[in-house]
């Protein structure tokens, strides 16, 4: 539980003086004009102490306080050096966050965890083929003339894939496109044998950990992943343009699990139980084979020496690329990777703004701090936005604002390794968070570029849209963020939080907390490379830092509405529609098989009735103000709105993936980045389609019953009823 803030004696923390009756507005104005000027000025200055401004007043004030200079200054400070999790540089970045939040008089603490991280000790890769000299690859990302960070670039971690197995492999190369299951199935159908070979795959489409694991399952001895120019270098390269330079490399984790690998399903607190490092590295969530990332230039050099059949058209590169062939060979790759798996200390930073009326209810805002290199986009544009909005919250406090509910600001560590910091904190505080958290609001990379993007659990859709109408489009002063959003290609839907791409995962998928994730832009070419620095952001991502301010405004406004409004601004009618849409997709996949979706359909119909009932309650209250003197009625409704999401979780979790407790949203089985609706049913259908046995189809039916049961539970919670 977050500690209560200490009373510093400031007026911002003292209770407001109870309001006294005032005369009608017209008479008040007439009397004011008859007072001496000094008395009138004193009355105006003290008015906010006599009558507390409405929450909407403070919300509007919050929007007016945005500062691009503040956001830019924080981003510059946070990106002076590469700051990988577990390093001294990242500890210094944590100190900056602690200092910034503490200076605002917010009680702030550091929560450390000891977790398994991995760093490269030795890497080498060379290419050979009959009639060609052996080519050793430098595996270095070049700096550029005038690079202001050239001197500290040597501090960046050498290019590697975290948690890859140590070992040496010399074998023929096979090209596997994006390394998806369907890509390996195509190779098998063409008679291309992957067993014992080194797979070359390009980044994109799926999570890199899935690429390596798919290669291992296909029998490969090692994997190499490169950044294809078609996807990452489609224009001028940085620093002249925003695209990946020829030597740019995307580093990253290949762990498919969540949290500290040595404490699966429980927190890595002091003195806790742990599995051995060897046991942790031997699980199916680990890649299990040596692997390395390489640049587009190196990947193209390998492709030029791979022979065999010509790859399909959609496997080919962009204009000017060589013809891509499948192999195997005659190109031979000699790869060595030696990693150091070590238990290191990471640091979450937690800051608390205590609520006045409902301090035991939490609105949690989170962003991670650790970066593979400088991290200007990922993640410190989000950290800068967090600190900028914290500055605004401090200004609101000086004006007399106190949130109704407690706001907690969280800066996570080791997200890049596998959502480690946030997961350990959620696992350690599971019971408190499950009983007290209203919502979790995540921003990872606040600014990639232009456009607004949002994902959410569906009961927050309406709130997101309403808030976006109050925030200015940072690229057009005549428009709102909503106008920008609705004009984009992504306006038809709000994304869902089933993927494993950021720190919302533990909140949504493990304990069932309503959540959102927002950003300006959605992709950028220098992702996880040496070139994700302040210069890239200043030149291409957000030259005026207005986009940072817009994200902070949206993030903070949603937090303020959730913290300050008497009735939580949730709407479950949208959730019912999402459940129906997911059922439609399942029905299409079940045509002609011995499985009935009737239990699911019935449970969704019941949930729709519960959502309509709550809508009716809210409308009645709004029209007749029937709960004005009945705080227990308000409390009851808010409890139901808050706890309904929890009911979609099941203590046993997904079959074969027990950490994922949410049965409506989880990552796709074959792409950790991809969000899957009804993931348990999807997993079972995929298995049944491969095996086509009566037992496998019974498993599909079982999974349908499971999701029907949690939807029925959610209906009971939302309606407040017992059977």
What CATH number is given to the structural domain containing 449?
3.40.630.10
Of 502, 529, 564, which marks where a domain is finished? 564
pLDDT band at 8 (very low <50, low <70, confident <90, very high): very low
Please say if the pLDDT value at position 85 is more than 90: yes
Nearest Cα neighbor of 153 from 418, 525, 535 is 535
Co-location of 438 and 295 in the same domain: no
Examine residue 491 and state whether it is found in any structural domain, yes or no.
yes
Chain segment 532-588, per-residue pLDDT in tens:
999 999 999 999 999 999 999 999 999 999 999 999 999 999 999 999 999 999 999
Nearest Cα neighbor of 562 from 466, 433, 645 is 466
pLDDT band at 161 (very low <50, low <70, confident <90, very high): very high
Taking each helix axis as running N to C, give the angle between helix 631-643 and helix 694-719, from 0 to 180 degrees, rounded to the nearest 10: 160
- Kindly report the pTM of this predicted structure: 0.91
How far CA 697 is from CA of 652, 686, 689, in Å, comes to 20, 10, 9
Catalytic residues: 415
Tokens 């009932």 belong to which residue?
Answer: 613
Chain segment 208-234, per-residue pLDDT in tens:
999 999 999 999 999 999 999 999 999
Nearest Cα neighbor of 410 from 355, 379, 367 is 367
Q: What is the pLDDT of residue 68?
A: 95
What's the structural domain count of the chain?
Answer: 3
Examine residue 46 and state whether it is found in any structural domain, yes or no.
no
Domain residue limits at 587 = 572-719
Of 341, 372, 396, which marks where a domain is finished? 341
Nearest Cα neighbor of 520 from 382, 339, 359, 320 is 382
Asked if 678 contacts 664 with a C-beta cutoff of 8 angstroms, the reply is yes
Co-location of 235 and 266 in the same domain: yes
Co-location of 293 and 153 in the same domain: yes
Judged on CB neighbours under 10 Å (0-12, 13-18, 19+), 30 is exposed
Co-location of 83 and 140 in the same domain: no
How far CA 142 is from CA of 151, 372, 375, in Å, comes to 12, 16, 17
| CB contact burial 40-54 (16+ within 10 A = b; e otherwise) | eeeeeeeeeeeebee
**Phi, psi angles (nearest 5°) of residue 129:** -160, 155
Co-location of 553 and 577 in the same domain: no
Co-location of 196 and 318 in the same domain: yes
Co-location of 550 and 608 in the same domain: no
DSSP single-letter state for residue 259: S
Examine residue 40 and state whether it is found in any structural domain, yes or no.
no
Of 341, 366, 384, which marks where a domain is finished? 341
| CB contact burial 492-517 (16+ within 10 A = b; e otherwise) | eebebbbbbbbbbbbbbbbbbbbbbb
Highest mean pLDDT: which range of 36-45, 441-450, 665-674: 441-450
Co-location of 275 and 250 in the same domain: yes
């Amino acid at each position: 539980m977050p500690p209560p803030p200490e009373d510093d004696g400031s007026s911002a923390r003292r209770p407001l003086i109870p309001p006294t009756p005032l005369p009608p507005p017209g008479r008040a104005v007439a009397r004011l004009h008859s007072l001496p000027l000094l008395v009138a000025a004193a009355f105006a200055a003290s008015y906010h102490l006599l009558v507390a401004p409405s929450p909407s007043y403070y919300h509007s004030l919050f929007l007016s306080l945005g500062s691009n200079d503040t956001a830019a200054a924080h981003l510059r400070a946070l990106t002076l050096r590469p700051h990988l999790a577990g390093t001294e540089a990242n500890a210094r970045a944590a100190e900056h966050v602690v200092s910034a939040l503490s200076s605002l008089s917010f009680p702030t603490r550091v929560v450390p965890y000891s977790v398994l991280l991995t760093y490269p000790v030795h890497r080498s890769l060379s290419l050979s083929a009959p009639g060609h000299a052996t080519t050793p690859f430098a595996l270095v990302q070049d700096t550029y003339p005038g690079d202001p960070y050239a001197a500290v670039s040597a501090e960046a971690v050498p290019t590697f894939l975290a948690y890859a197995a140590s070992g040496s492999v010399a074998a023929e190369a096979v090209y596997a496109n994006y390394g998806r299951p369907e890509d390996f199935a195509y190779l098998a159908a063409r008679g291309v044998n992957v067993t014992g070979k080194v797979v070359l795959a390009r980044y994109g489409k799926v999570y890199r950990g899935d690429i390596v694991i798919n290669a291992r399952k296909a029998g490969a001895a090692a994997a190499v992943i490169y950044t294809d120019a078609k996807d990452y270098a489609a224009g001028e390269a940085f620093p002249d343009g925003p695209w990946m330079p020829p030597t740019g490399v995307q580093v990253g984790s290949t762990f498919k699990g969540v949290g500290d690998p040595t404490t699966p399903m429980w927190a890595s607190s002091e003195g806790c139980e742990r599995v051995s490092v060897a046991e942790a590295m031997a699980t199916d969530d680990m890649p299990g084979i040596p692997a390395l990332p390489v640049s587009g230039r190196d990947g193209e050099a390998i492709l030029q020496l791979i022979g065999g059949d010509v790859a399909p058209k959609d496997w080919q590169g962009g204009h000017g690329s060589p013809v891509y062939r499948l192999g195997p060979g005659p190109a031979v790759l000699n790869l060595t990777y030696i990693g150091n798996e070590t238990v290191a200390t990471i640091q979450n930073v937690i800051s608390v703004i205590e609520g006045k009326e409902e301090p035991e209810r939490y609105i949690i805002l989170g962003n991670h701090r650790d970066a593979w290199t400088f991290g200007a986009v990922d993640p410190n544009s989000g950290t800068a936005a967090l600190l900028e909005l914290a500055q605004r919250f401090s200004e609101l406090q000086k004006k007399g604002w106190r949130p109704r509910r407690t706001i907690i600001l969280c800066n996570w560590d080791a997200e890049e390794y596998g959502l480690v910091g946030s997961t350990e904190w959620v696992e350690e505080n599971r019971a408190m968070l499950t009983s007290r958290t209203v919502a979790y609001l995540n921003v990872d990379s606040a600014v990639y570029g232009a456009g607004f993007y949002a994902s959410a659990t569906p009961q927050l859709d309406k709130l997101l849209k309403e808030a976006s109408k109050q925030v200015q489009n940072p690229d057009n002063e005549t428009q709102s963020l909503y106008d920008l959003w609705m004009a984009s290609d992504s306006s038809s839907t709000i994304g869902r939080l089933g993927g494993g791409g950021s720190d919302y995962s533990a909140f949504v998928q493990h304990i069932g907390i309503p959540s959102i994730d927002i950003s300006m832009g959605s992709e950028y070419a220098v992702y996880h490379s040496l070139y994700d620095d302040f210069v890239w952001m200043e030149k291409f991502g957000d030259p005026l830092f207005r986009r940072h301010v817009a994200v902070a405004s949206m993030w903070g406004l949603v937090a303020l509405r959730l913290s300050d409004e008497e009735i939580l601004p949730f709407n479950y009618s949208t959730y019912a529609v999402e459940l129906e849409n997911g059922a439609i997709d399942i029905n299409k996949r079940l045509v002609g098989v011995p499985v009935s979706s009737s239990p699911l359909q019935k449970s969704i119909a019941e949930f729709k009735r519960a959502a309509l009932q709550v809508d009716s309650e809210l409308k009645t209250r709004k029209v007749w103000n029937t709960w004005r003197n009945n705080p227990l009625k308000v409390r009851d409704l808010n409890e139901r709105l808050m706890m309904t999401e929890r009911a979609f979780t099941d203590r046993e979790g997904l079959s074969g993936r027990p950490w994922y407790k949410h049965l409506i949203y989880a990552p796709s089985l074959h792409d950790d980045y991809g969000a899957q609706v009804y993931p348990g049913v999807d997993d079972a259908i995929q298995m049944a389609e491969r095996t086509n046995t009566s037992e496998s189809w019974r498993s599909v039916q079982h999974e349908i019953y499971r999701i029907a049961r949690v939807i029925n539970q959610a209906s009971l919670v939302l309606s407040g009823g017992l059977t």
